[in-house]
Structure 1
Amino acid sequence: MAIQLQWGLEQMGFSGLRAARDLIHAASTDNIQAKAIQACEGFGATLAICPETRRKIELTVVPTPPSIPVSFFNSFIGYSPGDCISQLSKSLAGLQFLGLAAALITTIPMSQAGDLVSAMLANSASDKTLVPSRRQTIDLLKSIEGRCYHAGFAEDCVGWELLLRKTIGQAPSRNLGPNSTSALPAIDGVESLVDAFRQLHRVGETHITRLTIQTSSAAPWTIAFVKWCLGRPPSVVLEDGTCILSQEESLVEVLVSQDDPSIFQVHLHSSIPSLSTLIETKVSHETVGMVRVSCFGKLLLRGLRGGDFATKVLAQLVPLCVRQITQHLVVLGDNMAFGNAAIPQQAEEFHIVDVDLHKQRLSPFPDEEVIIEACEDLLSQKYPRNSLQLADGLTVFDLPLVKQHMDNLQAECPCAECSGESDSNLSCLEDSFVNIITGILAAAFLISLFDHRESILLRATNTTSLHFNNAFSHAIKGILVNSSAFSCGVSEILRGALWLIRHDEVAQENWLMSCNKDQAVWPLVYDTMSFSKNGYLRLLWLPGKLHFQNDTYNLVTSKVKRYAKRGRQPKKTIKARLVSEPCNLFSDVTCHWKVTPEENHLEASILINDSSGKYNSPWMFASPHRAISSIANALLVESCRHDRDAHLKAPDPFCVLLNPFSGSGGLPNVDSAHEVDESSVSGLVKVIAVDGSEKLRIAALGMERASDPVVLRGNACLDCCIRACRLAGFSILVL
């Protein structure tokens, strides 16, 4: 066996005061150890990384986009100049390390990738005292992880997996092992593969002439990794001799086993001749890749049977499914107190008592056109826009092409019910088709929430169906199967969107904003402090890290409610004034975001401030995200045939003004105020008089009374809005 290449400080490009200063700046910028940068660059000098990959790293990972400020509090999203990636990219060795890291940390869980890189640094170092610790190595890898996804190695894995699935499906033997996306070797197998490449392409004398890799379900990842490192794909052959891919000039051959799906062996062929087995290991099916929207769509379509006919079926199915879901999905407000893990729950059918009232609900999603465009981006297909409506008693699966496809599936289905064989334990092809359609539609609706979705990176799921085991996916499936209304909570939708971009790894209770894998995401309503009938859950996102006061964070949560100044708590006297016209009683009140750094995250709240002191402020309200829940439960009176600013003919004795910025809800120090016992009045409507102020309206929706459903005034007159409150049985009207 050839002697392993070693790295040392003498191989590195650091010399002089300027280089030392740049190294210290890079380390301090990303809060990591300078020794880790030095070690990784030195290790990069020994790697076999082809010029094509180095060029891809230079074009996709190294460029530092300009930072963009976040308007709703004093922070910015972006990267600091001279960070670790900038420092490593200054040398060929550093670029080679970034090339290896981009492949490993975008497909292997971070803890395992840290163990792997740490082991390779230690095993190949000429001076063990220069080797960084495992934690220091992981810190470095975390600092570069987000930008490495843009190199696209995970998408290469998906492409090879889809190609092999299609090709081997035509071969005599079809057993490729588990139907798992980009399964990969255990870390010892990856280390052996990296070392084999180093020996195969080392400078100087070597006896190694060829490399054979025997694997099964890890074949897609292995092929992608060979091409990533060496510049050309390997030859791919099945164990029965069937040639899948021939590469005459390649020095690497991948032998696809058809018996043991967990096998992974690396063989180096020596010129003497001899065959040395470097490692025998098992395969890990845990993958952590991030891919673009179109590649994610290919993953969703993997289990779709029917070829070109199935594509025609989707063309008939998708537009009508979008319409059915937008018409029948009822999104309700909830406590928004989701944690890291999804809580599976069955969506309940929602019985609409008044159709006109249901039409006044706000939608978290954009309009149908935008959602269909998201479907097109996801599936790389154009879909017709039509006004087709289903007759009563029919579902989307009764459409002609869809029904024919379902009949074809039933005819070849091996499950006990379809085949009539009672001892069959195979899954039903019809159920699988319904689940695939549900997953596609769930993903499309969630993707439609994101701005600039063509650039966002999504989780490369390693399952055959979308991992949305919550009320949102259950509601979509119920609507498609039953053509009736189903409901889910708004937090379930937000949870699904965060899961798609892997922000479920950092999201916690009282979530406001998060940044993970170098993608920062937050609701648009926090930025603009306004909303419309469609798209109140629209999500802004920017590539980069979240910077605040010269530090970086990955989470912003809502602050627990407390008064900003002790001794100035709201008075308890409940007083109110009768309503006669739309008005804003809080013209002196302002609100702005207040952000407080904590140990590992930021806490944010909206500071209510009144310069006159009339309304017992300033004080912070706790849950800005609660406003989203209030909007979900609200009705919006968009317009009416009357003048928007019309006065009531006479003050309504059962309608009073309400101060949301006081714990009691009254209006202290307001002329003509009188006491009202709301418990003794049936049908009492309390009006929050913030007419013309979007910011105060959002702030009011996030107050303690956020659990009470409200009516929101659009361009309708005051009288029609009060009528809507009483018709719906709601007690609060927000002007």
Structure 2
Amino acid sequence: MFYSSVLAAAQLRAMQSCQAQSGLLTLLIVILSAYLTRDVFSIIYVKERRRWSLDQTVGSVLSFAQGIYQAACNDNVGPLAIQASENFGNTIAMCEETCWKIENLVTKINEPAAIHFLRASVGFTTRDCATQLSKSQAGVRFLGLAAALVTSLGPFESSNALEQLLNSSASDKRFLPTARQLMLMLETLEPRLEYSGFADSLAGWVIFLCRSSRITQEYRDSWEVSTFFPNPKGLDSLVNAFRQIASIGDSDVIKVSVKATICTPWVVAFTKWCLGAPPSIFLDDGTIILEQPGTKVEVLASLDSENCPGIEVSIYRALGAPSDLVASLSGGGSWTGMVSIETYGQWMLHKFEFTEGSANQALIQALPYAIKKIIESLRLSKYREFDFSIPLRDWRHQSLQDGPVIDEESMGLRLSPFGNEAAIVNMVRRLLGVSGSFQLRSLDALYIEDLPLVKLHIKTIKGQCLCSVCNPATGKNFRSCEKAKLVHHLAFVCADILALSLFQGPDSPLVQLQHYRDGSYPFKKAIHSILSNENVGNIRVSDILQYTLDLVGHKVADDVKESKWVMSCFKGQVIYPHLYESLHYDKQGYLTLALSSGLLRYRGEVYTRVIGEKVCSPEARSHLVIGVRGEVTRPCNLFPDLKVVWHVEQFNDFLNVSLGLQSVQRDLSSTRYSVNWILENLASAIMLEACSHSPDAALEEPDEFCAYTGPTVIRPYSDQENRIQVVGIVAVEGSNELRLFSLSGGGVIMPIVLRKDACLSCCLDACRRAKYPVIIL
């Protein structure tokens, strides 16, 4: 008691001085006093405490203080929040399975992955808050609770709940962190804890409850639409009840009864997460949904939201009537979460009613044909012939409006943003759990609705549909059409499959659960129009990116729409176009996305966004010739001394990048080009992968209407005397990095022919047939 009072006074003085100085000695006093007064958070019903003496604790205190200080500095988190959270962990009931999962998640840290083009790294560190908390069982138990909260409620709602929990369990409330301090700590923990699996468990319980044959459609609709969680008071009552069930020492608690309405799925998942076993689940009328012999927790699922708007927790003891009855409202929003691809697939099938029966059979039969049709019909460019009469700066805008389209033979050379069929089929298998033979097939002259199982399912739902189109005699004008809804749902499934198939890397993406799917995405709308046989599948490459990034929880719509997105890091996932690192592109899969787990670090700082502002350095053009004198006879590299560099500028909360060049022969430090046009130019390009000739074959005779150009200026021009189009040949043969740099287009978007292993003569033929002005060797 003496030590507590003396150190409490020292702590108060130290915390006051922290406002004026941030020295290690001051922080050590705060941490030391917190360490010696750990009984602020008392374990209820503990019969006997271990005793310790001050001289035995000095070494451990210093080590403890160093760990707290290091974690606080690494994550910019207040040490008081870390210490209070660990102490609070002593009072939390958390099962061995969850503790093992959390401990394994935090301690299993791979070596940081290098992103060479950015000179940055991706990964988690061993010096952060999660690692510090994982060093004690109390800290691990707190991380288990934090995982359930922050991955389903988000940092803001979780911090409010945690503040309530700390206040209700602390005997001394003078040195508790604020909700804002707790939120900052939870924000640093969230990227790691997203991989804990609580959201997967929660999604699984929603599906289990809604599929139960013992519930009515009213219950099912309630849990589908009202996806809420308890408010801080309700969470406090749950944690307190579980604490008493799992308390050390004798306990007279024989049962905890939780009555829940719109929070039922979350309460069931949280119970399983904390106690290791699910509760028994009953309906209001006594109907058994799940009976668990030996459990001390039961959940009563109710529809009486008027008398029970959130949850009611009752604790039954061996003697006497039920006590500790606590009623609370639900939280302020819907729960969410990041889940595995497999869990997301089951969730998607459940939400779109494709789980079983004729609907599932129709989906599996339709997908191979639908995906193939989408890939063949989707257009990321208008593929207009180039018009020399239009100024280059205006060509892109005017080509979107009108003009002749390249011929069918040239159209067959366009690039696809998606990978090969094997990658897409693999995603179908993972996402939907499809086994057996699955191969993409062309429909030829048929429509999706002509397929036999699809036709049978449409016949079934049309008989049940209440719209005036399907049932003119009895239908209502204001009722939605079940057949139209089927096509919308199929479009979402196809869009998700294609989007998720873009990811490549050692780590699989986590996907964000969405209770409501916004159908206004241009990517989804284009797919819907293709499946509806409207054949209006024109979008931009940024539309696919926006849909895909939103799907995995990266809310960077503004960066994507403005064509300046290069990389983002949210939810513990770093994502960027793979070709920026590999410097390599193929006819299929140029939009492949690299994904790594962890945080993005550049020069020791953590960033969430990397953008490429639209920049161009006109003065750089004087360094490199636009047209090179001499005869054009064969593929060559006229700039072997040039190297591409990525310029990185640090700002407050993002990195800005641009492309530049280095040369031992000349000063190119002023060269700056935008990264943004690379993907856009690939979207409108055509590629010759090979031909029947040797790739190095020379022209039979020099071509007078060609000119070699440098990578900084690939702009087309014409022979003024003869008014004949001159093909610009970017002479960067054999250099992948200069090819990629050339795709920046000198700051513009233009139609380009890309050469892979074809000869120069065939490339020129393709260029002139399509009326494209430039070839990149």
Please, what TM-score do these two structures have when normalized by structure 2?
0.84
Which residue, 510, 514, 520 being the options, matches 2:574? 520
Per mean C-alpha deviation after superposition, the further-off stretch among 568-577 and 621-630 is: 568-577
Aligned counterpart, 1:337:
none
Q: Is 1:582 matched up with 2:635?
A: yes
Q: Does 1:694 align with 2:707?
A: no
User: Match for residue 341 of structure 1?
Assistant: none
TM-superposed CA distance for 1:274, in Å, is: 4.4
Q: After alignment, is 97-106 or 578-587 more displaced? A: 578-587
The corresponding residue for 1:610 is 663
Instruction: Please show how residues 613-632 of structure 1 align to structure 2 within 5 Å.
Output: 613=666, 617-632=668-683
Partner of 1:265: 311
Distance 1:540 1:122 in 2: 44
8 Å contact from structure 1 (residues 478, 486) kept in 2 = yes
Q: Match for 2:588 among 516, 534, 538?
A: 534
Task: Indicate the residue corresponding to 1:344 in structure 2.
Answer: none
Q: Using the TM superposition, name which of 421-430 and 147-156 deviates more.
A: 421-430
Checking the alignment, whether the CA contact within 8 Å between 1:266 and 1:280 is kept in structure 2 is: yes
Q: 1:309 aligns with which of 353, 358, 361?
A: 358
Question: Partner residue of 1:404?
Answer: 456
Shift of residue 159, structure 1, vs aligned partner? 0.8
Say which of 446, 456, 467 aligns to 1:415.
Answer: 467
Structure 1 residue 325 corresponds to structure 2 residue 374: yes
Q: Tell me, yes or no, if structure 1 residue 286 matches structure 2 residue 334.
A: yes
- Is 1:684 the counterpart of 2:726? The answer is yes
Q: Residue 652 of structure 1 aligns to a residue in which SS?
A: coil
The offset of 1:527, in angstroms, is 0.2
Distance 1:455 1:472, change over 3 A: same
Q: What is the DSSP-based 3-state SS (H/G/I as helix, E as strand, rest coil) of the residue aligned with 2:520?
A: coil
Q: Is the 8 A contact 1:324 1:483 kept in 2?
A: no
Distance in 2, matches of 1:678 and 1:249, equals: 91
Tell me whether 1:186 sits opposite 2:231 in the alignment: yes
1:472 to 2:523 alignment: yes
Structure 1 contact 397–481 (Cα < 8 Å) conserved: no
Which letter does structure 1 place at the counterpart of 2:77? Answer: I
Superposed displacement of residue 175, structure 1: 5.1
* Counterpart residue number, 1:706: 748
Q: Does 1:100 align with 2:145?
A: yes
Describe the superposition over 1:530-552 as per-residue Cα deviations: whole angstroms up to 9, x where unpaired: 11111111111111111221222
Please list, as runs of the form range in 1=range in 2, the aligned pairs for 1:449-488 lying within 5 A after superposition. 449-452=502-505, 455-463=508-516, 466-467=517-518, 469-482=520-533, 484=535, 486-488=537-539
| CA displacement, residues 316-360 of structure 1 (integer Å, 9 cap, x when unaligned) | 2221222212211122399xxxxxxxxxxxx99999762221110
- Equivalent residues of 2:614, 2:674 under 8 A apart: yes
Quick one: percent identity of the two aligned structures? 31
Match of 1:409, as an amino acid?
A: I
* 2:732 is the counterpart of 1:732: no
Q: Is the 8 A contact 1:361 1:633 kept in 2?
A: yes
Q: Give the one of 120, 130, 145 matched to 1:75.
A: 120
> What do the CA deviations read for 1:105-164 (whole angstroms, capped 9, x no partner)?
110122111222233223433333322233321121111112212221111111111111
Cα distance in structure 2, aligned partners of 1:454 and 1:700 = 31
The residue number in structure 1 matching 2:241 is: 196
Residue among 166, 169, 180 paired with 1:121: 166
* From 654, 672, 675, the counterpart of 2:705: 654
Q: Distance in 1 between matches of 2:658 and 2:168?
A: 50
Answering whether residue 493 of structure 2 is matched by residue 440 of structure 1, we say yes
| Native 8 Å contact 1:621 1:702 kept in 2 | no
Q: Which runs of 5+ in 2 are unaligned?
A: 1-33, 42-56, 384-399
The offset of 1:236, in angstroms, is 1.0
RMSD (CA atoms): 3.2
One-letter amino acid of the structure 1 residue matched with residue 353 of structure 2? L
**Paired AA for residue 52 in structure 1:** E
Residue 681 of structure 2 contacts residue 744 of structure 2 at CA under 8 Å; is this kept in 1? yes
1:467–1:9 distance in 2 versus 1, CA, 3 Å: farther
1:53 to 75, 98, 109: 98
TM-score for both structures, normalised by structure 1? 0.88
Describe the SS at the equivalent of 2:661: strand
Give the letter aligned to residue 597 of structure 2: P
User: Among residues 756, 762, 769, which one is paired with 1:720 in the alignment?
Assistant: 762
In the TM superposition, residue 376 of structure 1 has moved relative to its aligned partner by 0.8
Q: Which amino acid aligns with 2:674?
A: S
Gaps of 5+ in 1: 1-5, 335-346, 667-674
274-283 vs 53-62, greater mean Cα deviation: 274-283
Give, in whole Å, the separation in 1 of the partners of 2:265 and 2:519.
26
Q: Secondary structure at the match of 2:434?
A: coil
Decide whether aligned partners of structure 1 residues 665 and 635 sit closer, same or farther in structure 2, where only a CA change above 3 A counts: closer
Q: Which amino acid in the other structure matches residue 317 of structure 1?
A: A
Letter in 2 for 1:405: H
Name the amino acid aligned to 1:702.
Answer: S
Judge conservation of contact 2:241–2:315 (CA < 8 Å) in 1: no
Letter of the structure 2 residue corresponding to residue 304 of structure 1: E
In 1, Cα distance between equivalents of 2:640 and 2:140: 58
Other structure's SS at 2:704 match: strand
Q: Secondary structure at 1:278's aligned position in 2? A: strand
**Equivalent AA in structure 2 for residue 332 of structure 1:** S
Contact residue 72 and residue 527 of structure 1 kept, 8 A: yes
Work out whether residues 107 and 288 of structure 1, in 8 Å CA contact, stay in contact via their aligned partners in 2.
yes
Cα deviation, 1:442-476, whole Å, max 9, x if unaligned, reads: 1110111111487321111122xx44532211111
Distance 1:23 1:212 in 2: 39
Go from structure 1 to structure 2 and tell me whether the alpha carbon gap of 1:33 and 1:204 turns closer, same or farther (over 3 Å shift): same
Aligned to 2:271: 226
Taking the aligned partners of 2:224 and 2:403, their CA distance within structure 1 comes to 37
Distance in 1 separating the partners of 2:603 and 2:658: 17
Higher helix share goes to which structure? 2
User: Map of 1:356-375 to 2, 5 A cutoff?
Assistant: 356-375=409-428
Q: 1:388 to 1:626 in 2, by over 3 A?
A: closer
User: Which deviations, in whole Å up to 9, do the C-alpha atoms of 1:662-706 show, x marking residues without a partner?
Assistant: 5x969xxxxxxxx97669834232221111111001101113353
Aligned ranges for residues 239-278 of structure 1 at < 5 Å?
Answer: 239-260=284-305, 263-271=309-317, 272-278=320-326
| Distance (whole Å) between structure 2 residues aligned to residue 683 and residue 579 of structure 1 | 15
Q: Deviations over 1:55-98 (max 9, x none)?
A: 22122344222222222232211111232111111111101100
Hey, what's the Cα distance between the residues in 2 that align with 1:733 and 1:431?
A: 45
Counterparts of 1:200 and 1:281, CA distance in 2: 23
Compute the displacement of 1:178 (Å). 4.9
Aligned residues: 702
C-alpha contact 1:180 1:285 (8 A) present in aligned 2? no
Please, which of 395, 398, 410 is the counterpart of residue 447 of structure 2? Answer: 395
What is the letter of the counterpart of residue 709 of structure 1? P
- Deviation (angstroms), 1:215: 1.9
Change in CA separation of 1:237 and 1:311 when aligned onto 2, cut-off 3 Å: same
Letter in 2 for 1:309: S
Alignment CA distance shift 1:373-1:352 (3 Å): farther
Bigger RCO of structures 1 and 2 (CA < 8 A, at least 6 apart): 1
8 Å contact 1:209–1:251 — kept in the other structure?
A: yes
SS class of match (2:292): coil
Whether the 8 Å contact between 1:446 and 1:493 is mirrored in structure 2 is: yes
Cα offset for 1:285?
A: 4.7
Deviation at 1:229, TM superposition (A): 1.2
In 1, the alpha carbon distance for the partners of 2:79 and 2:331 equals 34
| Kept in 2: contact 1:518–1:543 (CA 8 A) | yes
Change (3 A) 1:649 1:151: same
Separation of aligned partners in 2, 1:607 and 1:333: 30
The residue number in structure 2 matching 1:338 is none
Partner SS state of residue 289, structure 2: strand
Secondary structure, counterpart of 2:235 in structure 1: helix
Partner residue, 2:38: 10
Q: Which amino acid aligns with 1:320?
A: Y
What one-letter code is carried by the residue in structure 1 that aligns with 2:755? R
Matched, 1:427 2:480: yes
